[in-house]
Amino acid sequence: MDQHLLDIREDVFHRNQGESEFHQAVTEVFESLNTVIGKHPEYADAAILQRMCEPERQIIFRVPWTDDEGKVQINRGFRVEFNSALGPYKGGLRFHPSVYLGTVKFLGFEQVFKNALTGMPIGGGKGGSDFDPRGRSEGEVMRFCQSFMTELYRHIGEYTDVPAGDIGVGGREIGFLFGQYKRITNRYESAVLTGKGMGWGGSLLRPEATGYGAVLFAQEMLKTRGATFDGQRVVVSGSGNVAINAIDKAQSLGATAVAASDSGGYIVDEAGIDVALLRQIKEVERGRISEYAERRGGKAKYVENGCVWDVDATVALPSATQNELEAKDAKRLVEAGIVAVAEGANMPCTADATAIFQEAGVLFGPGKAANAGGVATSALEMQQNASRDSWSFGHTERRLEEIMIGIHSTCATTADRYGKPGNYVAGANIAGFTKVADAMLALGVI
């Protein structure tokens, strides 16, 4: 990284102290930008990078709600509206006890570049709360969502900021949030949230889109080595929305997905994960992955508190959370013959792990490219809402495929152009950055 970039980064660290994930995300982007800044002095002249690292708006609010025992609970809500040069802020809401401002900023920063890569007219933002929905009753989740939206509603809108789901926020939570927005505003403003249910403004394929998209991105990477998913041994982390749909898609392409996890441990099922059973346990019953092994009739084993990256794979799809795949895991996977890694989650691989994969020549798809199918399909949901239309599953899937192939090709050609062939991290960062930077230049100093 040259001195100009180091100085800006130092200032960002200083202004955002203690936000380690945000620092990590900024560092990863900056490390890709040396050649770009050298070729384009106009970006430095207009302080584009400094502006990109400073969110346009950061909202932090109190979320009071009453639990089933009648006790008042207080959580903290966040929405970071990072960059709207390309369109309304767009990005999910995460409900997890670990959420703090630094989490939301790192996710919002990543989202700006990811959304640019999709080619859709969407800016970047992210939000959430330190609320933990696990173990809470339906009524508690609803009251929390209603209280959260009672503050958030004044900051969002179809043309302003369009949240969606993320960890801990699925169709149920989006329903409660949308219901409260509609009630407060007296407007059926469908495109204010994405990830809605099919019967009330949602898009077919949106639930599947992130996981499917990550597999489609990995498939494009494999093609560059003359390979396909057929016969691959896939390991996935997590067992939420992204993980389950990634498993589903990988198996439909002929792979065997043998392992998945949650925060309690992992399962191994050498015959291939039974997706219907996993969906039933995780999505319908909201249970734990340990139950999968219990109900698989001896075909699967559960390893409590184990690390899923101890399982050999040729393709890894980390799809749980940030920094869940460390250097030691990367080394082990390389030794075991891993061919490709596509990040279904946001920043699941640490910087060291990413470097190990890249140095070993493993195909590595960073989250901001590989998991962009979710937000791209959210933008398709917004298109359907705007035109009061509802597309078929097949039509939406073809659009997703085109978008993922397009993102792969953008990353690959950009990496080539800037002298980093095969480096999808550099390709994604540079292509996302230049698209947003050019729009910011055109819009003046705002």
Can you say which residues are annotated as belonging to the binding site for substrate? 90, 111, 114, 165, 378
CA angle 186, 188, 193 (to 5 degrees): 115
Q: Which of 243, 348, 251, 263 lies closest to 304, judged by CA?
A: 263
- Is 166 a residue that touches ligand NDP (CB under 6 A)? yes
Measured between alpha carbons, how far is 259 from 333 in angstroms, rounded to an integer? 14
Answer for the pair 244, 237: CB distance below 8 angstroms, yes or no. Answer: no
Binders in 378-417 for ligand NDP, by CB under 6 A? none
Nearer to ligand NDP, 168 or 427 (CB): 168
| Residue nearest ligand NDP, Cβ-based | 240
Give the per-residue contact string, 246-265, with ligand NDP (x = CB under 6 A; - = no).
----------------xxx-
The residues assigned a catalytic role are 126
What is the C-alpha R_g of the chain? 21
Binding-site residues for NAD(+) sit at 210, 241
- Is 320 a residue that touches ligand NDP (CB under 6 A)? yes
Query: Reduced to 3 states, what is the DSSP secondary structure of residue 95?
Result: strand
Query: Letter for the amino acid at 364?
Result: F
- Is 319 a residue that touches ligand NDP (CB under 6 A)? yes
Binders in 254-313 for ligand NDP, by CB under 6 A? 262-264
10 Å Cβ neighbour count for 4?
Answer: 14
- Is 240 a residue that touches ligand NDP (CB under 6 A)? yes
Smallest gap, in angstroms, from Cβ of residue 262 to ligand NDP?
3
Smallest gap, in angstroms, from Cβ of residue 65 to ligand NDP?
20
Of 175, 202, 238, 366, the one binding ligand NDP (CB under 6 A) is: 238
Nearer to ligand NDP, 40 or 301 (CB): 301
Q: How far is CA 83 from CA 4, 88, 125, 355, in A?
A: 22, 8, 7, 28
* Window contacting ligand NDP (CB under 6 A); options: 139-147, 154-162, 318-326, 422-430: 318-326
284 Cβ contact partners less than 8 Å away, ≥ 6 residues apart: none
Count of residues of this chain found to bind ligand NDP when the rule CB under 6 A is applied: 24
Nearer to ligand NDP, 401 or 438 (CB): 401
- Is 150 a residue that touches ligand NDP (CB under 6 A)? no
Nearer to ligand NDP, 49 or 166 (CB): 166
Give the per-residue contact string, 196-235, with ligand NDP (x = CB under 6 A; - = no).
--------------x-------------------------
Q: Which of 350, 247, 336 lies closest to 289, judged by CA?
A: 247
397 Cβ contact partners less than 8 Å away, ≥ 6 residues apart: 205, 212
Answer for the pair 250, 213: CB distance below 8 angstroms, yes or no. Answer: no
Measured between alpha carbons, how far is 61 from 78 in angstroms, rounded to an integer? 6
Q: Which residues sit at the interface with ligand NDP, rule CB under 6 A?
A: 165-168, 170, 210, 238-243, 262-264, 319-321, 324, 344-346, 371, 374
